[in-house]
Structure formats: C-alpha cells, structure tokens
Structure 1
Amino acid sequence: MNINATNSVQLDGENSNGIPSSVFSQVAQEAEGNSEGIELTTSFLELTNGGIVSASTRGVGDAGAVNIKATDSVRLDGESSNGLSSTISSRVNSGAEGNSRGIELTTSSLELTNGGRVNASTSGVGNAGEVKITATESIRLDGESSIGLSSGIFSRVNSRAEGKSQGIELTTSSLELTNGAQVSASTNGVGNAGNIFVRNAKSVLLSNNSSISTAVEPTSRGTGGNINIQTNSLTLEDNSRISARSQGIKRAGNINLNVSESLTATDSDITTSSTQSAGGQIDIIAKDIRLRGDSDITTSVFSGTDNGGNITITTDSLIAFADSDILAFARDGRGGDITFLTPIFFGFAFRPAPKGTDPATLDHNNRVDINASGAIDGVITLPNLDFITNSLTELQDNFIDTDSILANSCIVRTKPQEATFTITGGGNLPLRPGDSSSSPYPTGVVRAIPRDSSPRPLQKGDPIHQATGVYQLPDGRLVMARECG
C-alpha cells in the first residue's frame, strides 16, 4: 500500500461502531502469503484518539514493513474510547507463522504523548521486526494513557511466542522521555530481547519515572538485550532508570554509555540485574559524572553461581553525593569487578564496605558506598589519590594579624621625583649699602614639629576612612591604606 500526501495525513478517533481511523496491511487468519506493507510519504503525519497505522499477519506469512517519511513531523497522541492507543505497529499475531518486517520512520521531529506508541511485536511463530527511527531534530516521549499505558517505543516477543526481537535504533539530536515514557525491548517467550541503540544525540533526558530498558521476563528462555547510548550529555532525574534485567534462565544484557561531556543522575539508577543467571556489565565513558541524591550504578545476580557483572567507569572526574552507591553483587557467585579509570573521585562520607556486606544494608544510609560482594568478592580498583596527599602544603601556625596589615595613617609616597626652585634677579641683596635686605616672598610662622609623633589610638566617634588600595612599604610588607591628600 502506497500513500503519498503532499501536505498531511491525519487519522483521528473512531466510527460509531468503535472501529478506529486506520491504515491496515494484513495477512488474514488462515491465509497464506506475505503482506506487502505500508509506504507512507507526507509532510505531516498525525494519529490522535486511537488512530492506527499497522501491518500485521494472522495467517502464514510475513507482516510487511511500515515505512514512513514525514519531512516535517510525526505526532501520536491519546487513545480511543475503549482505551486503544494511537499506534504505528508491525505485528505477528497469536497463531500466525511469519516475521514482522519492522518499522522505519524518518522525520524531523517525532512526538508520542498520552499513550502514543510505536510498536513491533510477535505473539506467534516469528520475529518481531526492528524499529528504526531517524528524527533529525528531536524525539519526545511523554506521559501515559488514561489506563496507564506508557507513551513509548517498543519491540517485544510476547508470551508463548517463538521468535526474537530485532531491537530498536534511534538516531536523533535530542531524545526526551518524561512522565513515565519508555523505550523498551523485551522477551516473554522463546527468543532473545533485542538491543537498543541511541546514536549521535546531543542530549538525552530521562525524567519523572521514565526508562530505557531491555528485559527477559520470568517465562522466557531468551537472553537480555544490550543498551548502547552515544550522546554529548545524559541526564537522569526523578526516579528514572536505564536498566537491563533478566528474570528468566538466561543472562541480562549489558549497558554501554558513551557520553562526550556530562552524565548527571539525580535520584535515578543505571542497573543490570539477573534473578538466576549471569549479570550484565556496565561500561561508562564520560567526561564528567555527577551522582546526586539516591542514584545507584549496580549489577546484581540474586541466585545461582554465575558471576556478577563488572562495572567499568572511565571519566575525568566522578563526584558522588548523598546516598549514591556503586555495587556489583552476586549472592552465590563471584561479585563483579568495579574499576575506576579516573584521576578524580569524591564520594560524600565515602568508605569501602567490608567484605560480605549485604548490599541491601547499603541503601538509604546517607553515604556513598562501593561494594563488590559475592560468595567470592570482586575486585575494586579505586583511583590512586596519593599524589594529592603528598602534594599538600602544611599551613602556617601563625594566622594573619589584621592590625599589621592596616595602616594607621594615610600613605605618603617615598622617593618623590626631585625638583628645583630657582630665584633670579637681585638675589635678596639690598639696593644700597646700609639698607636692610627684604625677601620678595613673605613667610609666615613655621609650625614646629610635634615632639610626640606616635599615632593616637582610634577612639569612639573618630571618623573612619576606608582603605583605597593595597600598598607595599619599603620593607616589603603589604598594607591596606589610602593615599594622603
């Protein structure tokens, strides 16, 4: 199906029978054959109040690809009266045999709000296709629907499905997830969760319970997907998280963050966890890292003899405040290694936790903890700060005497430029012999030099003259004073 609309395509609401405004390409139940998919080109695409663009299969055959090119923007907002979110989807439905060919969306800006979704999934025998989105300016995901469905971008292998998620790739200048929005690749069936890539972003913001995650659900036999984020700045705040978890029998995915400038987390977490298999690793490269409030970087394995994931942090400076912790835990296996490759590390009230410490006791204790506990503890490599200790200069015992740096009088410049005074004429000689000499310049009474030249102590009521500068005396001392005159 090809749709070419110069200005806009708008799908809004539903008809009187509750059928949403939609564009469908579908392999029907019991049918055999592939869906050719949907090709949609326009300037502006808007799906509101349950509008849908979907390619799917219910029979034997592939669900076609959904390719959308909107030069201006794409906006998905809200839900229908029966709770169906405005959605762009590619699906393999329950009972079907075939692959989802995924979704490719190219635009300037993408906005998903109030439950709006982009979703590739499989509930049958076949793979969930890749979700590939290129938005040159921004991707903004915000909020939830009235029934609690998060706005977001999803790639899923659903319960009882046999197939793998092909993952999510986002290329944009600005990525914002706010108020519970999600980017998620997960598996609840027989197949792996896909990877998530965020490429070439200038900024990534997660705020107010938002998340980027990969997950293996309890009934799944697949492995967890990796999360890879490349950005100039990464900000997490208000209970947001980047997580890779596995509740199944296979390992959790890894988290790789490459941040060219600053990574800041406030009351938010970066975590990998596994209930019964190997923990995922966390590798962070950032110019500067700031952890505030209760912000944790953790890898955990809660049962089984597999090892905890390693944590490697490469940065120019790592500063952790309040109750922020860095932990690599494995209950029955070896704790993960924690390695700091940084010249500067500061942790508020920091102290390494003793071996065998239960990580649960390290949270909410109002200090920074670093721990790699396990049946065998992992290795913690902290930066060598001896160069700071050895370069400290001992302070002098004698404090500055303020009286000694305040002059008791105004300052007269020394070594003034020499001058001459020349009188020409009679030279004060009398005009005739016997006459008295008279000076052409009258002189008054010359004031005598006071015998006691010591300064009088300042008394109450004396005027106070502010210093106008710092002056160097002949002996080299510096005093605060004002010039005379």
Structure 2
Amino acid sequence: MTIDTQRLTVRDGAQISSATFGQGNGGTLTVRATDVELMGISADGDATSGLFSSVQPTATGDGGPLTVDTQKLRISDGAEVRSATFGNGDAGNLEIKATESITLSGVSPVGGRRGGQSSRISANTESMATGSGGDITINTPTTRLDNGAVISARSRSNFPGGEITVNGDTLSLTDGAQILTSGSSGGDAGSITINATDTITLSGIDPTYNDRLAILGADRVDPDGEESAIASRAIGDGQAGSINLNTKTFILRDQALATVSSTGTGVAGTLEVNANSIQLDNGSLNAETTAGDEGNITLSDAQLVVLRNNSTITTNARESATGGNITITTDFLVALENSDITANAILGRGGNITITAIGIFSDRTSEITASSQLGIDGTVNLNTLDVNPFQALAKLPADVVDTSNQIVTSCAAVDGNSFVVTGGGGLPADPTGVLRGQVVVPDLRLMVDEGNTQPVKSRKTRSSLRRRLQYHHDRDQTAITNQKLPIIEAQGWIINDQGIVELVAYPTQISHGSWINHHSCF
C-alpha cells in the first residue's frame, strides 16, 4: 500500500495498517506526504490513531516494512507508528525519513484500553511471539521528544528485539521522553546508535509518570521510569544491548540518564559516548548488573568532561556481580558538587577506572572509587599527560640582530670607535626610517658593571646626535666611579667653549633644536 498526498492527518482512533494472518508476508506500507500528523485515540479510549504493520498470532509470515517519507512528522496525544509480531514471523522494519523534523509529544488521556499511552514509534516482539522484532531507522535533521513520548524496541518473548538508529543534527529528549530497547523475558535487547552532528540533550522527568503507573500498571505505561533517558535494559536472562552516542556536545541534566543494565543473569552491555564536550548537571551515565557480566562505560575523544550537582558515572554491581570498567579519555575532567565516578561491587570484585587527561579537577565532595564491600577492590588509574611548557616556546636565533644594516651614516674613523646595541624593551627601530616626534631614546644607561672602575679614552671627534652620550671627557684618562646618577632624558644640546656638541638635560637660552631628524655627522 502506498499513500501519496500533500498532507496526511490520522486522528481520533483512525488507523492505516498492513498485517499478515497466515503463511504469506505482510505487504509494504509506504506514506509519502509533505506533512504527516498523527493525533490521539478514539473517543472510547480503545483504539489508537496511527500507522501499523503486524504479524498476527496465527501467522507464520513476516511483517511488511513500514516507511514514512515526509518533511515533517508529528505524533501527539498517544498516537503511534508501530511494527509488532504476535506470531511466528518477524516484525517488519520501520524507516522514517523527514527532511525537516520529527516531533513526538505527550500521552493520551487516561480512560479506556489505550488511555495514558505515550506517543510513540515502536517495534515490538510480543509475549507469545516466536519471531524477532523489527529495526527502527530515523533520518532527520531534528528529532524532538517531550512529555513522556517514546521510541522503543521491546522484546517480551525469548526472541531478540530490534535495534534503533537515529541520524541527524540534533536530538532532544525532555520531560521524561525516552529512547529505549529492552528484553523482559529471555530475549536480548537491541542496540541503540545515535549520530547527531551537533547536540544530544536529555533533561527533566515526566511529572505524570507515577500517577499513570499507579492507575494503569507497568504493562500499560511504556516509558521505563520517569526520567528522560536513553536506555537498554535486560530484565530476564537476555542481554542488554549496547548504546553508542556520537555527537559534538552531549548534555545530561535535571535527573536525565543514559544507561545499560541487567537485573537478571544477562550481560549489561556497553555505553559509549564520543563527543567533544560531555556535560552532566544532575545527570547520570550508568552500566549496572546484578548477576551477569559487568557493564562498561567509555567516554572518548572529549576535550572537556564536566560533572556537577550530584552527577554520576557508575558501573556498580549488585550481589555477586563484578563491577564494570570505566574508561575516560579527555583533555580536562572536572567533578564538582558531590559528583562521583564509581565502579563498586558488593560481593564481587570492583571494576577498573582508567582516566587519561591533561588535567583532572575536583572538590572534596566528589570522589573516584573502585571498591568492593566484601570482595576485592578494583583499580583507579589516573594518567595525566606530562606537559613541558618549553615545547611551546619559539626557537630564537643566536644573533639578535643583523649588524650589517644597523648603521646608516658613519663618522670618520678615529681611535676606538664602537657600536653597541643595548636593546630598548622591544624590536629596534628601522635605521633607515625618519625619527618621529614620539620616538625617544629608550635607555640612556652606560654599559658599566656595578662596583667596577673602567678607563675610558677621550674622543676628539664630534658626536652624532643619535649617539647615546651621557658625559664628555677630556683626553686624559679619568675614572668612572660606581656612583649612580639619575638617568634624565636629554632635552637639548649646546656647543661648549671648546666647540664640542653636548647633550644636556635642560635647554639653555641659546637657540637650539631638541632633536634633528637627519643622520649627518658634525
């Protein structure tokens, strides 16, 4: 069956379905529309609005695939897109492609068989089925779930449930919305893979969950807990699936969690997060087991991992199970405000924690532990990278300046001429440039060792105004004492009675200039 339309609305318990009741496979159900909206349940509460593919209890054929191709898909007030098997055949796969967005919101009003049901996309293996569950694949830039809405693949039989894959730019789960796989009997839960190029955000709880649970019971309430969550759980003998989250920024806040767990004898699975920034604010990452093999958590390729406000990363084990392993690779790890990283056990061995980072920062209320109450403690390995600050320094040349181009105009060679570069607190001025009004001599000190007396030969040549002269001496040798005179910038020049130009600290009444902007000798 193919539906091709501009707009498709399914509401008030209306249904579009494909099913098999015998040996043949169910037909393909395809919807192509610019806008698809599924809303609510029937007035008596017994029928759910939505799109369905099913394998009925007597059937041996497989369910047909269900495909939705649209710009926008909106599912609200308990409506659903569902693939399920109740018989011997496998459930069909669900594939949803939306070029703009997919939004799931809210639950149906309480009342009737379908009252209190979450808006959902699901692929289930029901309790009497001997077929496997179908897979769910979603491709859209923006996926939003809120107020208890769910994307789920459950196995309620001994056969495995399907897998969930979401590809896009952003994923947002708020107010108790969940993406989950589970195995409640002996069937294995499927894996969850989310590829979001921008952000994955989980926040808040469903305020109606506990009331609905008390009225309807666990079988009728689809979310597994009140928290916003990405979860894979094994309740019986089956194994939990793995969770793989790939994004730029991963955020867990306000009691939200990502978890793989086993409360039976099965393996808990692996939780892996690959993100540049991992931010937990009263959020949790956990992999817990009761009797099966440990669950593990790996955080990779992060620049920053932050835990605040009672956040946790745990691979704790109950009863005789072994604590899981935690591996974190990041530039910086920050744990504040009673936030813990633990791989603890009760009777079994504690897990191993390995953290590789440039810096690890925490306050006294936060801890990293791998202990066992009655068994053998695990290990905590903190590998902080050796940082050599000299590696970042630029290699300087052995020669500070090129002395061949520092003098523009030379004076006549008379005994003992010399040229000294003392530096001026920065790069020297270009010797070919014109001295500007704001340019001053930066350093007028003589190159004299403190406490020493050095002879200085008198010079009978006329001095260039650009030379750094402080004193003029006669031809006889004199001594420069170690008396320290205040350094005063020259303000002018005079010609003394011997016809020698002298730089002076204060100008006289003789007509003269403060500085001359050419380089000639006198």
Question: Counterpart amino acid of 2:357?
Answer: T
Q: Which residue of 2 aligns with 1:184?
A: 231
Match of 1:130 in 2: 163
What residue number does 1:66 align with?
94
Task: Tell me how far apart the structure 2 counterparts of residues 227 and 16 of structure 1 sit (CA, whole Å).
Answer: 42
Aligned residue for 2:332?
288
Contact kept, 8 Å, 2:233 with 2:261, in 1: the verdict is yes
- The yes-or-no answer on 1:13 pairing with 2:87 is no
Q: Give the deviation of 1:418 after TM superposition.
A: 4.7
Shift in Å, 1:416: 2.1
Partner of 2:256: 210
The question of whether the paired residues in 2 share the 8 Å contact of 1:234 and 1:259 is answered with no
Question: In the TM superposition, what is the alpha-carbon distance from 1:174 to its structure 2 partner?
Answer: 0.6
1:139 is matched with which residue? Answer: 171
**1:234–1:415 Cα change, 3 Å:** closer
Q: Percent identity?
A: 27
Q: Distance in 1 between matches of 2:306 and 2:139?
A: 30
Match of 2:460 in 1: none
* 2:242 is the alignment partner of 1:195: yes
How much has 1:6 moved relative to structure 2? 3.3
The match for 2:490 is: 416
Rounded to whole Å, the distance in 2 between the matches of 1:420 and 1:287 is 65
Q: Shift in Å at residue 251 of structure 1?
A: 2.0
Are residues 204 and 415 of structure 1, via their aligned partners in 2, closer, same or farther at CA, if it must alter by over 3 Å? closer
Moved more, 162-171 or 279-288: 162-171
User: How far apart in 1 are the matches of 2:265 and 2:61?
Assistant: 29
**Which of 272, 275, 279 matches 1:235?**
279
Aligned with residue 54 of structure 1, among 67, 82, 99 = 82
Q: CA deviation at 1:419?
A: 2.0
Q: Deviations over 1:194-223 (max 9, x none)?
A: 000012x11000000000001111xx2211
Q: How many Å separate the matches in 1 of 2:335 and 2:373?
A: 26
Aligned counterparts, 1:250-265, within 5 A: 250-265=292-307
Structural mapping, 1:26-105, within 5 Å: 26-81=54-109, 82-105=115-138
Matched residue SS, 2:343: strand
| Cα displacement (A) at 1:331 | 2.4
Q: Aligned match of 2:289 in 232, 242, 246? A: 246
The 5-angstrom pairing of residues 268-283 of structure 1 reads 268-275=311-318, 276-283=320-327
The Cα of 1:310 is off from its aligned counterpart by 0.4
1:310-325 to structure 2, matched below 5 A, reads: 310-325=352-367
Instruction: Tell me by how many angstroms 1:232 deviates.
Output: 0.5
Tell me if the contact between 2:78 and 2:119 (Cα under 8 Å) persists in the aligned partners: yes
Deviations 1:39-78 (A, max 9, x none): 1111111100011000001111111111111111100000
Measured after TM superposition, the shift of residue 37 of structure 1 is: 2.6
Contact 1:251 1:274 in 2 (8 A): no
Judge conservation of contact 2:84–2:134 (CA < 8 Å) in 1: no
- The alignment partner of 1:331 has SS state of coil
TM-score, reference length from structure 2: 0.63
How far apart, in 1, do the equivalents of 2:360 and 2:306 lie?
Answer: 10
* AA at the equivalent of 2:151: V
Can you give the 5+ residue segments of structure 2 that lack an aligned partner in the other structure?
1-27, 110-114, 205-226, 388-484, 498-508, 510-522
CA distance in 2: counterparts of 1:64 and 1:415, whole angstroms = 91
Which deviations, in whole Å up to 9, do the C-alpha atoms of 1:96-155 show, x marking residues without a partner? 1110121111111100000111000110121011111111x20000003xxxxxx11000
Name the residue aligned to 2:186. Answer: 162
Letter aligned with residue 310 of structure 1: N
Q: Which aligned pairs between 1:452-463 and structure 2 lie closer than 5 A?
A: none
Q: What TM-score, normalized to structure 1?
A: 0.68
Whether the 8 Å contact between 1:215 and 1:252 is mirrored in structure 2 is no
Question: How many angstroms apart in 2 are the aligned matches of 1:270 and 1:169?
Answer: 20
CA RMSD in angstroms comes to 2.0
Alpha-carbon deviation of 1:412?
8.5
- Distance (whole Å) between structure 2 residues aligned to residue 87 and residue 62 of structure 1: 20
Residue 114 (structure 1) aligned to one of 111, 136, 147:
147
Which whole-Å CA distance do the structure 2 matches of 1:22 and 1:322 have between them?
53
> Would you identify which runs of 4 or more consecutive aligned residues in structure 1 move more than 4 Å?
none
Q: Secondary structure at the match of 1:170?
A: strand
Q: For residues 176 and 418 of structure 1, what CA distance do their matches in structure 2 show?
A: 72
Relative distance call for 1:75 and 1:106 in structure 2 (3 A) is: same
One-letter code aligned to 1:213: T
Partner of 2:371, secondary structure, is strand
- Taking the aligned partners of 2:374 and 2:316, their CA distance within structure 1 comes to 14
Q: CA deviation at 1:301?
A: 1.1
- C-alpha contact (below 8 Å) 2:278/2:302 kept by paired residues: no
Q: Report the counterpart of residue 472 of structure 2 in structure 1.
A: none
Cα deviation, residue 8, structure 1: 1.3
Contact 2:77 2:106 in 1 (8 A): yes
Contact 2:145–2:173 (Cα < 8 Å) also in 1: yes
Would the aligned equivalents of 1:100 and 1:129 in 2 still touch at CA under 8 Å?
A: yes
Q: Matched residues in 2 for 1:143 and 1:187: separation? A: 24
Give the number of aligned pairs: 343
**Hey, which of these two has a bigger chunk of strand by percent?**
1
Q: Is the 8 A contact 2:29 2:53 kept in 1?
A: no
Q: Counterpart amino acid of 2:262?
A: V
AA aligned to 1:166 is G
- 1:363-410: per-residue Cα shift (whole Å, max 9, x none)? xxxxxxxxxxxxxxxxxxxx9xxxxxxxxxxxxxxxxxxxxxxxxxxx
Residues 346 and 375, structure 2, Cα contact 8 Å, conserved in 1: no
Question: Per-residue CA shift, 1:15-50, capped at 9, x if unaligned?
Answer: 223212111111112322211131111111110001
Structure 1 position 4 matched with structure 2 position 31: yes
CA contact (8 A) 1:94 1:124 kept: yes
Structure 1 pair 187/422, CA: closer, same or farther in 2 (3 Å)?
A: closer
Q: List runs of 5+ in structure 1 lacking aligned partners.
A: 145-150, 345-382, 384-410, 424-440, 442-485
| Cα offset, 1:421, TM superposition | 7.3
